[in-house]
Amino acid sequence: MNREIEAIYALWKRELIRFFRAKSRVIGSLGMPFFFLAILGTGLSNAFALPMEGNYLEFITPGIIGMVLMFGSMFSGIIVLIDRQFGFLKETLVAPVSRTSIVIGKALGGATTAMFQGIIIMLIAFFLGVNFQIGNAVLLLVFMFMISVMFVSLGITIASKMEDMHGFQIIMNFLIMPLFFLSGALFPLSTAPEILKAASMFDPLTYGVNGLRFILLGYSEVPFATCFAVISAFTIAFIAIAILAFNRIEE
Amino acid sequence: MASNAIETRELSKNYKELKAVDKVSLVVEKGTIFGLLGPNGAGKTTLISMLVTMRKPSGGSAKVNGFDIEREAGKVRESIGIVFQDQSLDDELTAKENLEMHAAMYNVPKGERRKRIEGMVKLVGLEEQLNKEVKTFSGGMKRRLEIARGLVHHPKILFLDEPTIGLDPQTRTSIWDYIKKLNREKGITIILTTHYMDEADSVCGKVAIIDHGKIIAEGGPKQMKNELGGDVVSIECANSEKCRKQLEGFAWVKNAVKHGGTVDARVEKGEEKIPKILAFAAKKGIMVKSVSLRKPSLDDVFIHYTGRTIREQEASPGAAMRLRRKAWGQKR
């Protein structure tokens, strides 16, 4: 048991070292969300009526944090593919450590770096003038953690199934972007066409974004209890699937 | 305690219709440097990957350090070190971080890690580079670091899959020196694969030649060469096939093999046969460009058992396909 925890810790640490060592990657990953907030958020601030108090920038801030958590953790998961291409995956796979521990180590590492990015974006939003009303900081961290673990697991699952990086564009355009747009991160779902609203109910990020919006601003289009329950369920399901998929990699 | 490092019994691995490893029964005694020789695609890597528990055998059984590779995979893994054919370091970490990571994964006691890492790094001469990122390393340095990493958890057997492939001759020599030193000083059993026959000859205490998934010959390199006996006369000539056929007709030629434009004839007392060969060539109108005489090498042993040189085999498309199918890490 002790050995497995050692391995999880080592893998977690590796993710952190790699993340913070590549300064350009840290800055690069924060570029898009920053412009979303600073330009889209401020530019559209009076463009349409919101079902909540506050301006558009405030409305999309939880959405952008959700996006950062999703992008950041998805990428950490998909790095498994790069590890395979560059051979490092083999080193981990032949170690006397269970595959489950490898997935957990990676998931924790990816979640940590994604949460770091999320918190940076929160700070940026704060300086742009967003008026946060954080009721429960612990709940916020737990919720961010769950969203991250869920998407790292999804990334690991995809990476376990893919042969190489060629399919990455497809994942980006046909999975990540629709999940983001459908989540109600950028527009209120309550005034959206029925078909979009229905589709968004199948998007786990919808519950992530609305849950975050509730914790950060006290407003949500989906009851928070529902958000919490759905995210918990998805997190558990996705990590289980990731463990299964990772166990199937032959080497 | 088992006295053998490795014992396999009819170990097999099939990929659909292809028998990558075909009923291999092998014993490697402790403390040997054992070379698994054969062309690319012969089944060397597949055999090794089963021994290190990365692939499940289709049939047969094997014990590594006395542990069954299927039922006690965890114990096998703890007791061996592996250096893969392809690089498997994390380029973005430093040498030290790579080694620390490995030590943690192999449960090396925390208090001992630093000492062990320093010791291993010294052994492969990378003290100066310890805190540098691996991506700045040369191919030879990376290989040495991988060897050091494979040893951090004090394995009893070190597996090296083509440890010198893609390296320049000088680096190759130094890698072999490290390997020999390891075996001598630490008594570690070393299982390596290579298709550089001359290197195997100078390093290995024992070798097995593997071709089409089967072990076709086994023994000490010296003994194998002696068994072949006599000398090898190489005749480079214009009409090599005709030359080979003619040579085979002589009672004093044990066998004659053509590769490229050269015919290798195995004979006794080669120095006395050269004039004879030249005389007959002149009579038959065979244009001889050059003649050389040598003692048999492992290459000749390989030719003797397979009828081909190791390079000819590599060039064939079938072999290339086998190779591709079984490349580590690509196959799922």
Q: Using CA atoms, how far apart are residues B48 and B163, in angstroms rounded to an integer?
A: 13
Same domain, B263 and B195: no
The string of DSSP letters for B158-182 reads: EEEESTTTT--HHHHHHHHHHHHHH
Same domain, B20 and B110: yes
Q: Which of A52-56, B2-6, B77-81 has the highest mean pLDDT?
A: B77-81
Helices (H), B52-152: 73-78, 95-105, 110-123, 139-151
Residue B69 with chain A: CB contacts under 8 Å: none
Q: Which one of A11, A91, A106 makes the best mutation probe of the B interface by having the most chain B beta carbons within 10 Å?
A: A91
- CA B104 remoteness from chain centre: 30
Residue B329 included in any domain: no
Same domain, B150 and B212: yes
DSSP tag of A40: I
Contact B87 A87 (CB under 8 A): yes
Identify which of A10, A90, A97 has the shortest CB distance to residue B88.
A90
Residues β-bridged to residue B28: B6
Q: What is the pLDDT of residue B146?
A: 94
Phi-psi region of B11 (alpha: psi -120 to 50; beta: other; left: phi over 0): beta
Q: What is the pLDDT of residue B331?
A: 37
Same domain, B251 and B184: no
Q: What is the pLDDT of residue B153?
A: 92
Same domain, B18 and B106: yes
Picking from B292, B316, B176, the residue whose alpha carbon sits closest to that of residue B300 is: B292
Q: Which one of B84, B88, B108, B134 makes the best mutation probe of the A interface by having the most chain A beta carbons within 10 Å?
A: B88
Q: Using CA atoms, how far apart are residues A92 and A75, in angstroms rounded to an integer?
A: 19
Q: Does B72 touch chain A (CB under 8 A)?
A: no
Q: Does B102 touch chain A (CB under 8 A)?
A: yes
Last residue of a domain, one of B219, B251, B267: B219
pLDDT tens for chain A, 251 residues long, are: 688 999 999 999 999 999 999 888 888 889 999 999 999 998 888 777 788 888 899 999 999 999 999 999 999 998 888 888 888 999 999 999 999 999 999 999 999 999 999 999 999 999 999 989 887 899 999 999 999 999 999 999 999 988 878 888 888 889 999 999 999 999 999 889 999 999 999 999 999 999 999 999 999 999 999 999 999 999 999 999 999 999 988 75
Q: Using CA atoms, how far apart are residues A32 and A34, in angstroms rounded to an integer?
A: 5
Contact A90 B328 (CB under 8 A): yes
Q: What is the pLDDT of residue B313?
A: 52
Q: What is the pLDDT of residue A234?
A: 97
Same domain, B183 and B75: yes
Report which residue type is found at A175: L
Token digits of residue A203: 């998007």
Same domain, B43 and B75: yes
Q: Using CA atoms, how far apart are residues B159 and A38, in angstroms rounded to an integer?
A: 55
CATH of the domain at B134: 3.40.50.300
Token digits of residue A60: 């999309």
Contact B93 A14 (CB under 8 A): yes
Residue B313 included in any domain: no
Residue A93 with chain B: CB contacts under 8 Å: 54
How far B101 CA lies from chain A's nearest CA (Å)? 6
Each residue's pLDDT tens digit, B60-69? 999 999 999 9
Q: Which one of A94, A160, A166 makes the best mutation probe of the B interface by having the most chain B beta carbons within 10 Å?
A: A94
Q: What is the pLDDT of residue B326?
A: 45
Residue B101 with chain A: CB contacts under 8 Å: 10-11, 13-14
Same domain, B154 and B262: no
Residue B320 included in any domain: no
Same domain, B73 and B214: yes
Which of B 273-332 lie inside 8 A of A, CB atoms? 328-329, 331-332
Residue B331 included in any domain: no
Contact B89 A90 (CB under 8 A): no
For the sheet with B231-237, list strands across it.
B253-259, B262-267, B231-237, B288-294
For the sheet with B33-37, list strands across it.
B80-83, B157-161, B189-194, B33-37, B206-211, B214-219
Residue with tokens 């703890």: B78
Q: Does B224 touch chain A (CB under 8 A)?
A: no
Identify which of B89, B107, B328 has the shortest CB distance to residue A88.
B89
Asked if pLDDT for residue B319 goes beyond 50, the answer is no
Residue B31 included in any domain: yes
pLDDT band per the 50, 70, 90 thresholds, residue B310: low
How far B331 CA lies from chain A's nearest CA (Å)? 8
Query: What is the number of structural domains in chain B?
Result: 2
Q: Using CA atoms, how far apart are residues B214 and A171, in angstroms rounded to an integer?
A: 43
Same domain, B124 and B253: no
Q: What is the pLDDT of residue A86?
A: 86
CATH of the domain at B261: 3.30.70.260
In degrees rounded to 5, what are phi and psi of residue A92? -75, -35
Residues β-bridged to residue B245: none
Residue B135 with chain A: CB contacts under 8 Å: none
Contact B93 A6 (CB under 8 A): no
Count CB neighbours of B216 within 10 A: 15
Report which residue type is found at A42: T
Q: What is the pLDDT of residue A58?
A: 92
pLDDT band per the 50, 70, 90 thresholds, residue B98: very high
Q: Provide, for chain A, the percentages of residues in helix, strand and coil under a 3-state DSSP scheme, each rounded to the nearest 5.
A: 80, 0, 20
Among all residues of chain B, which has the CA nearest to that of A161?
B332
Greatest Cα pair distance, chain A, in angstroms, is: 58
Residue B325 included in any domain: no
Same domain, B236 and B112: no
Length of chain B counted residue by residue: 332
Q: Using CA atoms, how far apart are residues A9 and A97, in angstroms rounded to an integer?
A: 12
Each residue's pLDDT tens digit, B122-160? 888 899 999 999 999 998 899 999 999 999 999 999 999
Picking from A204, A15, A185, A181, the residue whose alpha carbon sits closest to that of residue A111 is: A15
Q: Using CA atoms, how far apart are residues B308 and B321, in angstroms rounded to an integer?
A: 18
Q: Using CA atoms, how far apart are residues B7 and A245, in angstroms rounded to an integer?
A: 33
Q: Which one of B48, B90, B97, B152 makes the best mutation probe of the A interface by having the most chain A beta carbons within 10 Å?
A: B90
| Contact assessment for residue B192 and residue B222, using Cβ atoms and an 8 Å cutoff | no
How far A233 CA lies from chain B's nearest CA (Å)? 30
Q: Does B263 touch chain A (CB under 8 A)?
A: no
Domain locations in chain A as residue ranges = 2-248
Q: Which residues of chain A approach chain B closer than 8 Å at the C-beta?
A: 2-3, 6-7, 9-11, 13-14, 17-18, 21-22, 83-84, 86-97, 163, 249-251
Report which residue type is found at A23: K
Identify which of A11, A22, A87 has the shortest CB distance to residue B88.
A87
Angle between helices B95-105 and B110-123 (to 10 degrees): 130
Same domain, B138 and B243: no
Token digits of residue B118: 């320093």
Each residue's pLDDT tens digit, B191-242? 999 888 888 898 999 999 998 899 988 999 988 888 887 888 888 888 888 8
Residue B101 included in any domain: yes
| Residue-range definition of the domain harbouring residue B287 | 230-295
How high is the mean pLDDT of chain B? 86
Token digits of residue B239: 């009409």
How far B263 CA lies from chain A's nearest CA (Å)? 42
> What are the Cα distances from residue B320, in Å, to A62, B312, B316, B317?
54, 12, 7, 5
